[in-house]
A and B are shown apart, each in its own frame.
Chain A
Amino acid sequence: MSAPVAQFDEDARRVAGDTRQRAIVQTAMHKYEVVRDFRKPWFQDWNGARDQASRTKFEAINHLDRYLDQFASKLESRGTKVHWASTGKQAVEIILGILKEKNARTVIKSKAMTSEEIHLNDAMEKSGYTVVESDLGEFIVQLREEPPYHLVFPAMHLTRGQIQQTFEEKIGEKSSDSPEELTMVARRVLRQKYLDADVGITGANFGIAETGMISITENEGNARLTAALPKTMITLMGIEKILPRMEDLGLFLPVLAVMGTGQALTGYNTIYSGPRQAGEADGPDEYNVVLLDNSRTLLLADAEQRDSLHCIRCGACLNVCPIFRNVGGHSYGTVYGGPVGSVITPNLRGLQDWKHLSYASSLCGACTETCPVRIDLHHHLLQNRRNSVQEKPDFFMAQAFRMFAVVANSPGLWSMVTTMSRVGMKVRGWVNATFLDPARAWTKTRDLPPIAGQSFREWWKENR
C-alpha cells in the first residue's frame, strides 16, 4: 500500500467515526446550502449562467497559448514583471529571489491555494522570513500548523472554543469565545503586521487577457491591504486562471460568489493591472506576477479531462459531496480536496499514488450537477479508474474476472457455484466480521445481504 493510500484509509476511518467533527462540517454545509439556494433564483437563468461560464472557460483554455501571451504582454506593458515557472520548485526560487533582492524580512500573504500547492510558506520560513497569513481562516490554521481544511473555508472544522484556545496558546491573546471578539483580536494583531510587512503575496482568482489584469475576490479586505501597503507585491497564479475579457467578470464574479459562499457578490472584487502608476497616492513600487505550470499542461494534454482546468476553485463540489462531508478535508492529504481534488490530483501528482481518491466516490454525480463551469467531474473519476487499470493492470483482479466469465458462461457451473455459496454463506454467518470471515473487508463495517434460499431457475421449475 502506498503512503497516500495508507494515510487516506486511516484518516478517513478516524474522521468518519468522529461524530463531533462531522456534526460541525454538516452544520456549516447546511448553512451554505440555505444561503446558496436563496441566491440562485436571484439569477434570471442560473443554468444559462453556468452554460455561459463553461463556454467562456472552454474558449480560454482551448486557446490558452493566445490568451496567456496577450495577458503577459499587457501586464509587462504597464510595468509588471512577469515570471514563468514550469515547476513549483522554480516558482519558490523566483519568489525567494525577489525577497532576497528586496532585503525583505516580513511577508504578509492573502489567501492563495497555489502557494499551498508549492509549499511556499515552508520554504520562506526555512530561509528566515517571517510569513503571516492574513485571511482569518488561514491565519487560524497557520497558527495551528495545519493545512487549510477547505478551498474556501480553511478553518471550518474548528469550533470557537478551539480558536479561542489557539489564540491564547500561540499569540498570548486572551478573549471570550464570541466570533466577534475573536475576529477583532485577529484584526488588531494583523494590523501591525500589515504596517511592518516588506512584501505582500496574493493569489489570483482570474487573469484577464484583454487588459492584463489580476482579479482577486475576497470578503475581509485583507487582500486589498496586502496589495496596498507593502512596497513590493507578488501574485502567484496558475496559468489556467485566464479569462479572455474584462467583461467576463460581470458573469464570473456573481457566479463564484453564489457557488462559493452563497453571497450575491463577495465584499471586495478587485482588479490589479500593475504597480503604483504616476499620479497615484500609494501602492507597491514593484509588481511581480509569477505564472505557474506545475503539471497543468499535463492536464491540458488530456483532451478528455481538459475541462478540469475550467475550475474556478469555488468549492461547490466539496460542499455537496457526501464523501467530503464524512471524511473531512484533511483526509484527502491533498491541497485540493473534494471531487475536483480527486480528479486533478492523480493527474498532477501521479496516477498510481493517488488513484484511490477516484475510488473514494459513490459516483452520485452531485458534483457535476452543481459545478458552475460544468466540469464533468464524476465521469473523470471513472476515467481515472480506467486509466489506472490500463496503465497497471491488477493481476488478481484480472484472474478473478476471467474465472467469473467461465462460470457465468456455463449453466452447470453456475448452478453448482451458487448452490455451494448458499452453504458457504451459512457457515460464514458463524464467523461474521471476525478475522476468519473471508468477506471481512466488507462485513467489518457493513451487513452482507443474504443469498436467496432458492434460485430463480429452481423457483421456475417448481411453480411453472
Chain B
Amino acid sequence: MSERENIFSRIREALKMPAHRSGYHTEQGELPGGLPTLEERRKVLPIVSATEEGQIQMFARNAADLKAVFKVLPNASLLTAELKALAFAEGWKRVAGQRTEMVEKQISELGLPALFTEGGYDKAELEKCDVGITECDALVAQTGSVVVTSRTTGGRALSVLPPHHVVVARRDQLIPDLPAAYVLLQSRYANSFPSMISFVTGPSRTGDIERILVLGAHGPKKLTIYLIES
C-alpha cells in the first residue's frame, strides 16, 4: 500500500466515530452544522460603506494606518508628474515594471533604464532596481489590501523584491470587502488560477525585535497606491 492509501485508511477508520460539535456542553449549545454562507460571513466581518465614496475613504484610512501612501488622481496624465516627483525625491536610477500599455508609457516618460519582467529576467538585476511599478487586480476597501497575481502583475517577485512598490489602480477596481474579492477571483479565473495570488496589505513589516514595528523587513519598505479616477 502507498503512504497515501495508508493515510486515507487511517483517516476513514478514525472518522467512523462521530464527534460532538463545539459548544455541546455549554449553555449556548451545539453550533449548527454545515459551512457558513457568504451572507453569514458578511454579518460578522467589519462593516463596509455601501457607497463608492465611503469605500474610497475607508481604503484611505486603512492605507494611512498601514503606513502606505494612497493618492486619488483625477486622470492618468497627473500620474506622470507624481512619478517624476517620486523618482527625483528618492533618486531612482533604475526602475522595474510590468509590460502593460499604461505602465510602459509611464516608465518611458521617466526616461530611466528599465527592466520588464515578462518573458523572464535576471533576478540580480531586478534586485538592483529602486522601484517596481505594477497594476493590480483589485483594491479591497475593508482591509486596505492590493490584490496582485503572478499572471497579471508581472510575476511573483516584481511586487516584493524592489524596495518600493508602486501600484496603479483604476477606480472600477475598488471592491468593498474580502468576500467580494474571492467572488471576483472565482469568476475571473475559475478554471485557471494564476500560480500566485497575493493580498498585499501595507509595506513589508516586522515586530520580531521587542514587538517594535519596523517597515521593510524583506519586502518593500514603501508602498504607494495611485487610484486613477478616469
9 further A-B pairs in the complex, CB-CB below 8 A; given A250-B179, A300-B10? A44-B45, A52-B44, A55-B32, A59-B33, A86-B7, A225-B161, A250-B178, A267-B203, A280-B156
Decide yes or no whether B157 CB sits under 8 A from chain A.
Answer: yes
Cα A156 to Cα B197 with chains together (Å): 30
Among A224, A239, A280, point to the contact of B195 (Cβ < 8 A).
A280
Is A247 a contact partner of B195 (Cβ separation < 8 A)? no
Mark out the residues of chain B between 56 and 74 whose CB falls within 8 Å of any chain A CB in the assembled complex.
62, 65
Contacts of B15 in A (CB 8 A): 62-65, 300
Among A137, A265, A293, point to the contact of B201 (Cβ < 8 A).
A265
Decide yes or no whether A130 CB sits under 8 A from chain B.
Answer: no
Among B79-87, B100-108, B166-174, B216-224, which stretch is in contact with chain A?
Answer: B216-224
- Residue ID in chain B nearest A156 by CB atoms: B211
Least distance between B98 CB and chain A CB atoms (Å) = 8
Is B11 a contact partner of A247 (Cβ separation < 8 A)? no
Is A307 a contact partner of B210 (Cβ separation < 8 A)? no
Is B121 a contact partner of A281 (Cβ separation < 8 A)? yes
Decide yes or no whether B89 CB sits under 8 A from chain A.
Answer: no
Residue total for A at the interface (Cβ-Cβ under 8 A): 110
Decide yes or no whether B214 CB sits under 8 A from chain A.
Answer: yes
Contacts of A28 in B (CB 8 A): 210-211
Decide yes or no whether A118 CB sits under 8 A from chain B.
Answer: no
Contacts of B155 in A (CB 8 A): 228, 280-283
Decide yes or no whether A229 CB sits under 8 A from chain B.
Answer: yes
Contacts of A407 in B (CB 8 A): none
Is A374 a contact partner of B23 (Cβ separation < 8 A)? yes
Residue total for B at the interface (Cβ-Cβ under 8 A): 92
Contacts of A45 in B (CB 8 A): 43-44
Identify the B interface with A (CB < 8 A). 2-4, 6-8, 10-15, 17-23, 25, 31-36, 38, 40-41, 43-47, 62, 65, 98, 117-121, 123-124, 127, 143-145, 150-151, 154-158, 160-161, 177-179, 181-183, 185-186, 192-212, 214, 216-220
Identify the A interface with B (CB < 8 A). 24, 27-28, 31-32, 42-46, 48-49, 51-52, 54-56, 58-59, 62-65, 68-69, 72, 78, 84-86, 90, 134-137, 140, 153-156, 158-160, 163, 179-180, 182-184, 186-187, 190-191, 195, 211, 213, 219-222, 224-225, 227-229, 239, 244-251, 253-254, 261, 264-277, 279-283, 287, 291, 293, 297, 300-301, 303-304, 306-307, 374-376, 379
Say yes or no: A134-B218 contact (C-beta < 8 A), given A44-B46, A269-B198, A281-B158: yes
